[in-house]
Amino acid sequence: MRSYIFTESERRRLRRWLENGEEDDTTRMLFVGVRRNLNALTGDLTLMSRVARELSRRGRFAGRSTLPRGLSSTLRRAVSALTLRPRGLST
């Protein structure tokens, strides 16, 4: 998943346009991209927001869920026992 919509340069150009109307060919090409992609991006942002709310509701927004206390050490012991199982006699 990408972590941005606009590059830092694009953000600067769009802010300058919003603040003082400064515009060039590159800024106008950004307008074309905004017009073409607005519906898809709005839908994606809505979906992301719904997922974030559901993660929060399930107590998973802050990060990966952890195993209940004590269970992780039990699993580690079980894995160790399986991987360190003694081998049969060599011939």
What are 35-87's pLDDT values in tens digits?
Answer: 999 999 999 999 999 999 999 998 888 876 666 677 777 777 777 777 766 66
Is residue 54 one of the residues assigned to a domain? yes
Residue 91 covered by a domain: no
Structural domains counted in the chain: 1
41 occurs within a structural domain: yes
CA-CA distance, 38 to 42, in Å (whole number)? 6
Give the model confidence (pLDDT) of 20-39 as tens digits: 999 999 999 999 999 999 99
- Residue 53's alpha-carbon distances to 45, 47, 48, 56, 59, in angstroms, are 12, 10, 9, 5, 10
**Residues of the domain holding 28:** 1-63
Confirm whether 11 is domain-assigned.
yes
Q: Is the pTM of this model over 0.85?
A: no
Q: Is residue 69 part of a domain?
A: no
Is the residue at 90 inside a domain? no
